Every structure is written in structure tokens, then in C-alpha cells.
Amino acid sequence: MSWLKTAGRAFFFRRKVEAELDDEMRFHLEKAQEELVARGIPPGEARLQALREFGGIEQHKEECRDERGISALEDLGRDLRFAFRSLRRNAGFAAVAVLSLALGIGAATAIFSVVHAVLLKPLPYPQAERLVRVWNSWNETPDARLSVPELLDYRARVPSVQLAGHASSEAVLALGDQRMRLRALNVTSGYFEVLGANPVLGRTFAAEEEREGHPVTILPHALWQKLFGGAATAIGASVTVDGTPCTVVGVLPAWFVAPDELSGSDPSEIFLPLGYSPADVAFRGSHFLRTVGRLRAGASVTEASAALDAVARSFGAAYPDSYPERMRFAARAVSLSGDLTRAVRAPLLLLFGAVGAVLLLVCANLAVLLLARAESRHSELAIRAALGAGSGRLVRLLVTESLLLSLLGGAGGAILAALGVNVLLSLAPSDLPRLGEVAVRLPVLGFALAVATAVGLAVGLVPALQAVRGGLRDAAGRTLVSRGRLRRVLVVSEVALALLLLLGAGLLGRSFSRLLDVDPGFDPRGVLSVSVTLPEETKRSNEEAVRFFRDLDTRVAALPGVVAVGSVQGLPLASRRGDLNIEIEGREQHPGEARDHADWQVVTPGYVRAMGMRLLRGRDLSPSDDAQAPGAVLVNEALVRRYFPGEDPIGKRFTLGAGSGPGKVTVVGIVADVRQASLDADPKPEMYLPHAQFTLWTSKATVRSMTLAVRSAGNPALLAGPIRDVIGSLEPRLVPGPFRTMGEVRSASVARPRFALVLVGLFSGAALVIAVIGVYGVTAYSVVRRTREIGIRLALGAVPSSILRLVAREGAALGACGIGLGLLLWLGASRALAGLLFGVKPMDVLTLVEAGAVLGAATVLAGFFPARRATRVDPTVAIRTE
Amino acid sequence: MKQDSHDLLQGTLDLLVLKALSLAPMHGWGVAQRLQLLSREVLQVNQGSLYPALHRLERKGFIDSEWAASENNRRARYYRITPKGARALESETESWERFAGAVARVLQTT
């Protein structure tokens, strides 16, 4: 308590306490002086002797302040005030330091926010670490979905995983006069149990409901609010899904989002039972189910994986027709969170690495600036030490100053991060999982503060200790040599880091431009696309469906400004295609060899022209290729290369293998390869079948979901309204999908590399600026240090150009060393980038030379300005300094 | 020399100051005089270092202080030992005596 009293007094009545300390000591000295005078010593000498006997007054006062205990707090206040004042005096230095710190910390925090939400944060399900996903695999297909009987077998024979399957489709939901087009998730029973989603109302799907013939549905929370205003009467109510009345049996909690919808910004879906038929259970070759699974207590992913694989490998013996040995059929379980983020992990970690490099650069630069500053304060610190400041106090003073800098930088960084996250979100590809959850949150802000404080301490402590040790022991400043070396090492590292970032940005940029240069095989300019799905409820026959799409083409073609119209099953750069086995006429199938196969597309006759594909030989499909005509097919160059090398494929015939149709088709034309899955994926053998000849590949339902492509003479976006009217007049119950120009489709397909490029580009720009500041700082400082030497040289007759060379050489040498070091580091770092590049190697000589040249020029320039200042040194003034 | 005795007697100084104040309340100068007198000029205390000791003891609650008029009517800070200080003096004296006795025994061993 008494400590508190003394400390409190000392803190709140600082002035009074100081005055008392003065009074007390003055009283003592006066008494001592009186005493000595009384002994007959002359007053003047008595005063001196009293002072001598007392010892250093200021030191004793400082000791008294220390003894009173509060001085740490008080000193902090004083150090802070002092640090503020001294930073304000050096506004330029402070601004550069705070700004670069804010940039570094802000960028690191923003990226970390994204990494945290996407990669680090557990999935939003109870005990998410136990969730897995099961994939089949065979030959060249590493991640294959499951067929219904496979799922049932795994479920029955692998007890360590609770497994559920799901597929997705689209559905039109109607309630009263509301109609909406939604994603539908068709799930097996157990799906919600695996994910730990207990319905807030009603129940989940019962075990028998996963088979066909159970018209029930479960609504997500938001849809329930929208349709029923949150009323409990929703349970048991009927909604119409694709024309079938369905009973609502459950409502999901508000937090629930299906794992595969985590990347979607608009998770509006409904849940329907999978509804498999006895035929589905019998057919093992239809792989369309994704899975979610939950490990039972005590089971590990490895064990579950081994158990699943054992079951998968046993299929070959039981069903040799479905699983020939050469297929090498296998299965495995992987963690669900890892599976969802697999594709984005590498680019995000690359960005994290890049931003880490920027942060390192910022720290190194701050250290350089602080070191230089500590040196110029050499004499100030020596005086402070002589006046009784302990080395602890001095270190604290300097550390306070750098901590203040980093905290200001950290605060600025937090603001920049908040802004930056929004920028990131607007730039980010929409398929980045869990983007909606990205926000600057407490752990992220904590990260920024930790970084700021660590930087402040590390960067403040080194120069402070050096200054104190050197300042007290070595007034001549001999330690300056080693400190100069430390600074140079730091600047060289900065240049090296900057080179790494420049190389990364350069390569990503080159790779991106190669990607944009890729010929997609069609002409996206002036093409508008819209997905058109015939609702099941219209109960159109296959022939009627064919007629609908033919009529649609004809009616849209009649609109003003339309050049060509056609429809396709899977829009290029926006969908992947499946393959069909083909049996080429006159070729023997060797048992034990992989069968010939090709990806298949279904198109209407105008499509090739509407999309601007190039017909290389033969003829285009035409309206006369109808159900009565012999089967016709267009093939791409890749198919010709693979199956007809050195032959003329026109007129060749093959049989389509998968379905039950007769399926014999004749090649009528060759089209240029179209990039289907993405610009960077090599085109696969592909064939285009006419929609009207559906009997060739199926005996069941034909394709009812197509994407209309419309080539316009003017602005294609203007056609959206008229096209919507045409669709409405043909089928009022049809809700078309979103309209997108092919330019937008292409742009969206490269969103991910663009995201990485823009960010790494920004980072490398920042790195370049920071490294240049570092080189400039070191050279400028060395000019100040060598003013006298330069003066003498000039006085002795050195020409300014030789001085220029002398100084500029230092900057150039730093740059050269940094570039050399950076190239060495690149040997190790480049591998991390290799997987993200397209059409360019990590050791691309041109990029290496360019990045080196840009950085070299920048460092030489940074050294040039201080050098020019050096030539203007006035010898007479210079020699007198110091 | 002074520096050495200062370091050596850092802990002892507190004990001596407490002893001096246990006889009567007095100001810093008085304590210095008293110590010199009592030790028959053997202990040359660096007078300035008395004050950190006084402030330290006050913080520990062994003494407290107030401003009062001195002999010739000047304001001076008077220190007074507290009951807690008295107890500390007692136990410290005891342990000092034990310590001094032990050192003496060692030194007398022939």
C-alpha cells in the first residue's frame, strides 16, 4: 500500500515531488556548507567541498526517482513524449518508416485474413476435423466420383466412416405464383447427420427416402424465411419442384451451408433425396456421386482410406466386367477441408510467401533507417550517458521510439488491411472457397499487432544496444565500421528479396499473357450465352424437346442484329465434358488395352458458326442431320491426331459405346480444337453430335439443358431482353439462367491467375520502392559520413566526375551483390512457382534478365542522387565539419 | 574508495539508517551526521547516496516522512521509523550479528 501511495504521489504530483527532492538536497548542501564554514573554511571552498562530499546530485536524484518505483511508468510517458517530438523533427524519416511499415503490415494482415478464412479456419461444422471425402481412382483419373452401388458397398463394409453421397442439379421451384431456379442437392440419407446439421424444424431424410419415389424436400433456413416467412407451418406444406409436388419435411439451421457451396456467394439451394432406382443400384459404371463422410471415434483417415481401398480392390473379382484389371480401380479418403482448398492452397501460400517477403523487406529497411539514425545520434547518446542515464534507460529510449514507429505503422496497417480485404474480395476469383467468411477479425488483428511489436523490438533493440555499447566505450566511433557492414548486409538482402518478388511478378505476368494469347478455338467477341433448361413438368417428349431448341434457334435468329445462333450442352471455358467410348469401324479392340474414347458435346446446327469455331475440313452440321438422317459427327483436331494420324478422317465411321442406341456415326467435318475446361488445359479428343440425333447415344431422355450462344453484329448484351422474351413466349414455365457474354466467361475462367498476378505485381512494386529507399538511404548516409574525405579529395584536385563514380559505385555494388544473392535464392525458391506457371519456365532467361535490369537500374539511380550531391561539396566547408 | 564502500555497504546502509532513525526522527543531514558520529568517523558514507536509501526505506514502509521546521526555522524533511521499520531493524540486527560473529570466528581461526 505504501508503495502505491509513494508511487501515486510521485506520478500524480510529479512537479511537487521533484520540487521536494530539490529542496531536500539543497537543505543538505546548505547545512554541510554551514558546518564547514563554522570550521573556518572560506564559504566558496566550503560550497565546493560540500558538493564533492555529496557526490553527483543529478545521479542521486535519478537514483531516488528509481527508488520511488514509479519512474518506469513516468519514464515511459517522458520517453513517449520525447519520441513523438524527435519523430516530428524528422518527419521525412518517420513518414517513410511508418508508411512502409503500414504497407507491409497491412498487406500481410489482409493476405493473412484470406489465408485464415480459406485455409486455416476449421470448416463450419461440428468436429470438422473428422470430416472426410471419398474418391475413387483409376488409371489417369485420380479423383473419380462414386456410383450408387459403390457408395452402398463402402457404407456397408467400411465401419470406420459414416458415409453419405450427393449429386447436384438444377430445379425450378414453384410455390403459389413464385417460380425460382435453384441449385438442387440430391443427397442420400445420413448427409445432414454426417455434417452435424440438426434441423431447426422437422426432420432429415429417412433411410428409405434415398430411394426413388419419395417426393420430400428439406429447405435451407434462408429459403424457408423467403417462402414461408419463418412459419412453423412450413412442415408438411407442399412446394412444386420441377413440376412434382413435394412435402417439406425439414428446415436447416441458419449456419448450415453445404460444403460444396462454401465458395458460392449465393447459397440458394434445396435438398432433395437422391432417389436412386433399382437399375441405378445394378449399374456400377455411372460415377456421379460426391461424398461426405465422418470418421467414427478413434478412426484415422489413413485407416479409413486403407479399409475403403481394400473394398474397392475387391470389386474386380466380384464384377470383372465393370472393373477390368487394367483399370487399377482404387479408393481413398481425404480430409474434407484439404479437399475443398486443394486447388487454391498453392496460389494462396505463394501470396503469403510474397507478402512475407515484403514484410521482411520493410523490417530490414526500418532497421537500416534506424541504424543510420542511431549513428547520427551518437554524440547525443554519449551526452545522455554522461549525464547519468543508465544504459537501460538509453535502450528504453531508443526502443520506445522504434516501438512507437511500429505501433503507428501497425495502426496504419490495420486500417490498410481493412481496406485491403475489400479490395482483395473484389479481385478474388469467385471459386475461392469460403470467401464470404473473409474479414479482418481479432486473431488477424492480433497477428498484425504481434508483427508490429516484434518488428519494433527487434529493430529497435539492435541499434540501441550497439549505440549504447559503442556510445559509452568508443567515443571515436570505431564500431561504426561493423555497423556500416550490418547496414550493407541488410540493404543487399533487401535488393535480393525485391529481385525474388520482381521475378515472381515477371513470370506470373508472362505466364498470364501467354494464357491470354492461347487461341480458345472460338471467337468470343460479340457472343452472348444463356443457359436454357426445359422444366421436367412440361413433360415434353424427346422429339418435342428437339423441336423446342430448333424453334428457339429459329426465333432468336430472326431478332434484329443477330448474326448466328446455336446451342451447346457444355459451354467452353465454363464446363468440363465427360467421355464416351468409341469403336472405330475396321479396328479391332485388343482385350487388355484401354478402349478408344472421346469427350462428347451435343450441339444444334448453328452452334459452330455462332461460337465462331473454325471448320477446317468437310462440312458443318446442318438442320438436315435430323433423326431420320444417318448419324453425323464433327471431330476436333485432337481426335484426328490421336485416332487418325496421317489419314483422312472424313467419311470414317465409328460406333458410340456408352448408351444403348445403335450409335453409328460418320465423320463429316473437322473443327479446330476448342479449349473446353480452361485455357491452360490441353484440348482432349472431342466430338460434336447433333441434338436432333439423340437416338444415337441414348434410348432414354435426351439433353434438355443447353446453353444458347448468340453472335451479334453489335453489342451482344443488348440482346438479353429480346432473347428472354422469345424464351418466355415459347415456354412461360422456363426460367433462363444468367446472361453472360463469352468475353465475361473467358475473363472469369482466368480470374485465379489474374488474382495472383495483380497481388504479386503490387507486392513487387512495393518491394522495388522499398529496396530503392534502402539503397538511397545507405548511399546518402555514407556521403554525409564522408563529406570530409570528399572535401579533401576535391581540395587536392579530384574532378567531380571521379567523386561521382566513387559514390555511385557504392550503390551499384550494393545492387549487384543483392541481385547476385537474389539469383542464388531464386534457384531454391523458383520451384514453388513452377506449378502456377503456364507456358513459361521458372528459369526463363528473358524474365531473369529483365528483372535484374530493372532492379539494377533502380539501385544505380538510387545511388546517383546522393553521388551528385557529393560532387557539390564545398571543400572549405567540408574540411571544417566535425 | 568511496565507490567501493558504497557498493559493499549497499544493504548495510539501510540497516544503519534505520538504526539512526530508531533513536530519534531526523532529517537526511542529521542521519549523515549521526552515522559519522556513531561510527567514530570510520564509516565514510557518500552523503548523496543516503537519499536513495531514505527513499527506498520509505517505499518499503519502514520509515515515513513529513516536512517540518528545522532548528533554525528552515523547512526540512524529517524521517521517522515506523513500527514495521522497528521490527525489520530488530530482525536485521539479529541476522547481522549472526553474520558478523560468523565472519569474526572465521577470521580468528589460526
Cβ separation A60–B75 shorter than 8 A: no
pLDDT band at B72 (very low <50, low <70, confident <90, very high): confident
pLDDT digits (tens, 9 = 90+) for A472-484: 444 444 444 455 6
Which of A30, A56, A66 is the closest to B48 by Cβ? A56
User: Which of the pair, A547 or B38, is modelled with greater confidence?
Assistant: A547
Q: Taking an 8 Å Cβ-Cβ cutoff, which residues of chain B contact chain A?
A: 2, 27-29, 32, 46-49, 51-52, 55-56, 58-61, 64, 67, 70, 74-77
Q: Tell me whether residues A27 and B29 touch, CB distance under 8 A.
A: yes
Sort out which chain A residues have CB atoms less than 8 A from B46's CB and list them.
Answer: 53-55
> What are residue B12's DSSP bridge partners?
none
The label of the residue with cell 479481385 reads A427
With CB atoms and an 8 Å threshold, state whether B59 touches A67. Answer: yes
Tell me the per-residue pLDDT of A41-55, one tens digit each, with 9 for 90 and over. 888 888 888 888 887
Q: Of the ranges A399-408, A493-502, A871-880, which one carries the lowest mean pLDDT score?
A: A871-880
Digit-coded pLDDT (tens) for A507-556:
888 888 888 888 999 999 999 999 998 877 777 888 889 999 999 999 99
CB neighbour class for A239 (10 Å; exposed up to 12, middle 13-18, buried from 19): buried
- β-strands A269-273, A178-187: how paired? parallel
Angle at which helix A43-54 crosses helix A57-68, to 10 degrees, equals: 40
Q: CA of A7: which chain B residue's CA is closest?
A: B59
Judged against a pLDDT cut of 90, whether residue A628 lies above it is answered with no
Q: Is some CB atom of chain B closer than 8 A to the CB atom of A37? A: no
What are the residue ranges spanned by the domains of chain A? 2-69, 140-327, 345-517+751-880, 536-732
CATH assignment at residue B86: 1.10.10.10
Domain enclosing residue B97, as ranges: 2-108
The confidence score (pLDDT) of residue A476 equals: 41
pLDDT of residue A433: 72
Best mean pLDDT range from A30-34, A373-377, A839-843, B80-84 = B80-84
ipTM, two decimals: 0.83
Query: Between β-strands A269-273 and A161-175, what pairing exists: parallel, antiparallel or unpaired?
Result: unpaired
Residues of chain A with pLDDT > 70, as a percent, come to 88
Return d(Cα A527, Cα A743) in angstroms, integer: 8
- A471 pLDDT more than 60: no
Q: Return the pLDDT at A703.
A: 82
Higher pLDDT, A408 or A778: A408
The verdict on a CB contact (< 8 Å) between B47 and A53 is yes
Residues belonging to chain A: 882
Identify the top-confidence range among A324-338, A447-461, B64-78.
A324-338
Domain count within chain B: 1
Q: Over the stretch A193-226, which tens digit does the pLDDT of each residue have? A: 999 999 999 999 999 999 988 999 999 998 999 8
Q: A833: closest CA among A508, A432, A512, A514? A: A508
Residue A562 has pLDDT above 80, yes or no: yes
State the burial class of residue A43 (Cβ atoms within 10 Å of its Cβ: 0-12, 13-18, 19+).
exposed
Residue A575 pLDDT exceeds 70:
yes
Nearest Cα to A240, choosing from A231, A230, A248?
Answer: A248
Three-state DSSP at A311 gives helix
**Position A463 confidence tier, pLDDT thresholds 50, 70, 90:** low
Residue A592 has pLDDT above 60, yes or no: no
How, if at all, do strands B75-81 and B63-69 pair? Answer: antiparallel
| Residue A661 clears pLDDT 70, i.e. is over it | no
Strands A739-741 and A664-671: unpaired
A635, A687 Cβ separation under 8 angstroms: yes
Which of A114-118, A176-180, A602-606 is the most confident on average? A602-606
Question: What average pLDDT does the segment A186-196 reach?
Answer: 94
The per-residue pLDDT for A376 is 67
Q: What is the dihedral of CA A448, A119, A493, A363, to 10 degrees?
A: 0
- Compute the distance between CA of residue A496 and CA of residue A504 in angstroms, rounded to an integer: 12
pLDDT digits (tens, 9 = 90+) for A635-646: 999 999 999 998
Cell numbers of A500, please? 525474388
Least confident of A62-66, A284-288, A436-440, B20-24: A436-440
Residue A493 and residue A364 in contact, taking contact as beta carbons nearer than 8 Å: yes
Of A461-470, A515-524, A604-613, the range with the highest mean pLDDT is A604-613
State chain A's mean pLDDT as an integer.
83
